[in-house]
Amino acid sequence: QPVHRLQKAGLNPEHLSELDACWAGRAFATLAAKAATSEMTLSEVFHKFTSSQSKLGGPAFRDMVRDFLPDMQEDRVNRLLYFADHDGSGGIDFVEFLRIFGVDINGNMGNEYLEHIMSRLHPAIGRRGGFSQVFGLEEWNTRQTVGRAHAVESLLAVGVQLTRREALELSARFSVADEFNVASFSETMHHCAVSGFMTQEWIHSLFHRIVSSVHQDAQGLGEKLSVCSDCGTLDRHQLRDLLRRFQPSLKDGQVDRVYAFLCASSDKAASRAGRIDLGHFLRTICQATL
């Protein structure tokens, strides 16, 4: 498909036509290696170039490539963008970014990629009734297993837009002899949440502090909400700016996890487009204090 879109756009001249998906894969691997030596997390790399947008658009993608591969020719940078933007949407969100740069030499999830996926699954599984409901367990116990194929379909049905490849890898990581260990999966998910300060308790504590601050300074709420877009939604950067008005010490990684939590807990189309509905945000933070 990238090659087809390049041809359609008139950007597939003969001297570049041999630069296929294998070439793009090698280029992405080189970029990932360069990013790894920059002492920045992938989240920090991504948000360094996204400005106020929740997606890495064409100009930002080109800036990122030039930052790490300054000698790459312009026509090759443009070609690489088409391979990065698989769906042709014109932008790359953070999950898509991780799918490109967050894998090891064998194509398996790196730690940051895995942690982010787990952080998205964590609230979504809870919202759907927990592990017993998601995996169809009659009762929960620490030795509970399900068939690996069943686990794959259950993970895909959670609703956080996992790819089948991601679901297959998660199922493989926690399976022995084609039996998926639900308890081990649950424990690892909890550890990922704790390592990112993304437990339910931490999020509710943060939301409680926000509501308490609003109660103390109700007149200042309008100013704090001025970061919202005119259509009543928040992208990731607007959410960061809003949260930091209440807790300035929040790190980017913590903002990412709150953002993932809010996206996963909403069925609204806005969240699927990478934006948080302001009404959903306000309802969620208030529920945490009830």
Tell whether 117 and 68 lie within a shared domain: no
Q: How confident is the model at residue 71 (pLDDT cuts 50, 70, 90)?
A: very high
Q: Which of 162, 195, 228 is the last residue of a domain?
A: 195
- 92 and 6 within one domain: yes
Against a cut of 0.85, is the pTM above it?
no
Domain end call among 50, 75, 101: 101
Domain count of the fold of the chain:
3
Kindly state whether residue 106 falls inside one of the protein's structural domains: no
Check whether residue 143 and residue 205 sit in a common domain: no
pLDDT, residue 284, reads 82
Look at residues 74, 101, 128 and tell me which one is the last residue of a structural domain: 101
Please tell me the distance from the alpha carbon of residue 136 to that of residue 154, in angstroms, as a whole number: 8
175: confidence class by pLDDT, cuts 50, 70, 90: very high
Averaged pLDDT of the chain: 81
pLDDT at residue 4 in the model: 82
Pairwise pLDDT comparison (193 vs 36), residue with the higher score:
36
Let me know whether 79 and 62 are in one domain: yes
**What H or E segment, with its residue span, contains residue 44?**
helix 42-50
- CA distance linking residue 53 with residue 33, whole number of Å: 25
Same domain, 151 and 77: no
Task: Check residue 150 and give its pLDDT.
Answer: 94
Per-residue pLDDT of 94-144, as tens digits, reads 888 898 888 877 788 888 888 889 988 988 898 888 888 999 887 766 568
Q: What is the pLDDT of residue 158?
A: 93
Rounded (10°) angle between helices 74-84 and 58-68: 120
Residue 265: the pLDDT is 67
Q: Do residues 191 and 233 share a domain?
A: no
Question: In sequence order, what E strands does the chain have?
Answer: 56-57, 91-92, 145-147, 175-176, 179-181, 233-234, 276-277
Domain of residue 277, residue span: 200-287
151 has pLDDT over 90: yes
Cα of first residue to Cα of last residue in the chain, in angstroms, is 50
- Whether residue 15 lies inside any domain: the answer is yes
Here the CATH number for the domain that contains residue 63 is 1.10.238.10
Look up tokens 């609204």; give the residue. Answer: 268
**Stretch 262-280: mean pLDDT, rounded?**
67
Q: Are residues 31 and 59 in the same domain?
A: yes
Q: Are 116 and 93 contained in the same domain?
A: no
Separation of CA 72 from chain center: 28
Closest of 237, 239, 228 to residue 203, by C-alpha: 239
Q: What is the CATH number of the domain that holds 280?
A: 1.10.238
pLDDT tens by residue, 229-244: 566 788 888 888 888 8
Identify whether 77 is part of a domain. Answer: yes
pLDDT at 270 over 60: no
Lowest mean pLDDT among 178-187, 194-203, 216-225: 194-203
**Residues 124, 57: one domain?**
no
6 and 96 inside one domain: yes
What average pLDDT does range 167-184 have in this prediction? Answer: 92
